[in-house]
């Protein structure tokens, strides 16, 4: 039975974030395989917990990073966005894992925007790249939500509503338990509407991410039409450019959240992630129906 333990970490800008350790009792921390996991927009640890417990029962120690303003992490008074999480919260977690837990190799599993902030963090701080093992990115993209006239119009309308209200209520829209501010959502709207992945200071993340160098598995859902359409996930995956990388498309019964957390994911998706993390070659055939 996996146990959850909360660790409170300070970021460089003074915000306390929560890193949730999920591990089976009796696991030797220094000798274990470690996985950093994180959620995306409108979400918190809950989207990651099922997969974390599945991996913990198989000998991994999982560390779920909850972004500032999400879950048990503090909500700062100042506005924050993807780059804040990438430049403050992710480095705080990596520093804690290496300096306080003795982690020397770290795999990563991220859902949606979690994969975006991890990518941004590693592009910004190359010193962390040698720490990385394998990555599995679930429903992660920055360019495909505005493909076609109706998705584009829908995105413009959503952006306008967000600007007018100042935030989008995740529970009301059926997107997750967290609300998101217009500051947090603005970059995602811009990336998808303009078909680029560029930071506030003009850094071209898409161009820079090709040099990261570690193996990446990307998973997309055929039924994910709104947040992470498969074409956008494939385009994001192509940006990494590594020869060992793999892309897998699951069937229409999977949507954006259910690709990460659902009964069907337990049988069809989680074994694929486990196989990617444990196989020497990183290859693992998806079960039938995935």
Average pLDDT over residues 20-45: 90
Predicted confidence at residue 280, as pLDDT, reads 76
pLDDT confidence of residue 27 = 75
Question: Is the model more confident about 205 or about 29?
Answer: 205
How far apart are the C-alpha atoms of 116 and 237, rounded to whole Å?
11
* pLDDT for residue 286 is more than 70: no
Q: What is the pLDDT of residues 219-267, one digit of tens each?
A: 999 999 999 999 999 999 999 988 899 999 999 999 999 999 999 999 9
The answer to whether 198 touches 204, Cβ cutoff 8 Å, is yes
| Residues in contact with 50: Cβ distance below 8 Å, sequence separation at least 6, in sequence order | 261, 265, 266, 270
Which residue, 46, 51, 43, 48, is CA-closest to 85?
A: 43
Count Cβ atoms below 10 Å from residue 1 Cβ, excluding itself. 7
Coarse DSSP helix, strand, coil percentages of the chain, rounded to the nearest 5 percent: 40, 20, 40
| pLDDT for res 137 | 98
Residue 63 in this model has a pLDDT that exceeds 70:
yes
Nearest-CA neighbor of 5 among 56, 43, 54, 40? 56
pLDDT reading at 287 higher than 70:
no
* CATH code given to domain 2-145+202-278: 3.40.50.1820
What are the domain boundaries of the chain?
A: 2-145+202-278
pLDDT level of residue 184 (50, 70, 90 thresholds)? very high
Q: Would the pLDDT of 173 be above 60?
A: yes
Rounded to an integer, what distance in angstroms lies between the CA atom of residue 262 and that of residue 80? 30
Whole-number mean pLDDT of the chain? 94
How many angstroms separate the CA atoms of 234 and 249, rounded?
Answer: 9
């Amino acid at each position: 039975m996996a146990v959850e333990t909360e660790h409170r970490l300070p970021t460089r800008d003074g915000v306390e974030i929560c890193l949730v350790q999920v591990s089976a009792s009796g696991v030797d921390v220094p000798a274990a395989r470690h996985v950093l996991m994180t959620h995306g927009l409108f979400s918190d640890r809950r989207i990651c917990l099922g997969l974390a417990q599945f991996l913990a029962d198989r000998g991994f120690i999982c560390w779920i990073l909850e972004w500032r303003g999400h879950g048990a992490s503090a909500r700062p008074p100042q506005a924050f966005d993807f780059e804040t999480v990438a430049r403050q919260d992710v480095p705080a977690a990596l520093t804690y894992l290496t300096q306080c837990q003795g982690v020397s190799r770290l795999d990563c599993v991220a859902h949606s925007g979690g994969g975006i902030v991890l990518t941004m963090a590693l592009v910004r701080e190359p010193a962390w790249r040698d720490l990385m093992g394998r990555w599995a990115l679930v429903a992660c993209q920055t360019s495909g939500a505005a493909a076609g006239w109706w998705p584009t119009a829908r995105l413009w309308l959503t952006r306008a509503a967000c600007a007018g209200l100042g935030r989008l209520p995740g529970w009301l829209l059926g997107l997750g338990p967290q609300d998101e501010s217009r500051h947090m959502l603005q970059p995602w709207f811009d990336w998808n509407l303009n078909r680029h992945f560029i930071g506030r200071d003009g850094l071209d993340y898409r161009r820079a991410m090709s040099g990261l160098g570690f193996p990446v598995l990307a998973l997309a859902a055929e039924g994910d039409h709104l947040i992470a359409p498969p074409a956008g996930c494939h385009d994001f995956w192509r940006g990494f450019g590594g020869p060992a990388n793999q892309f897998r498309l699951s069937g229409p019964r999977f949507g954006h959240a259910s690709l990460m957390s659902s009964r069907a994911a337990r049988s069809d998706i989680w074994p694929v992630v486990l196989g990617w993390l444990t196989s020497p070659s990183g290859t693992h055939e998806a079960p039938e129906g995935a």
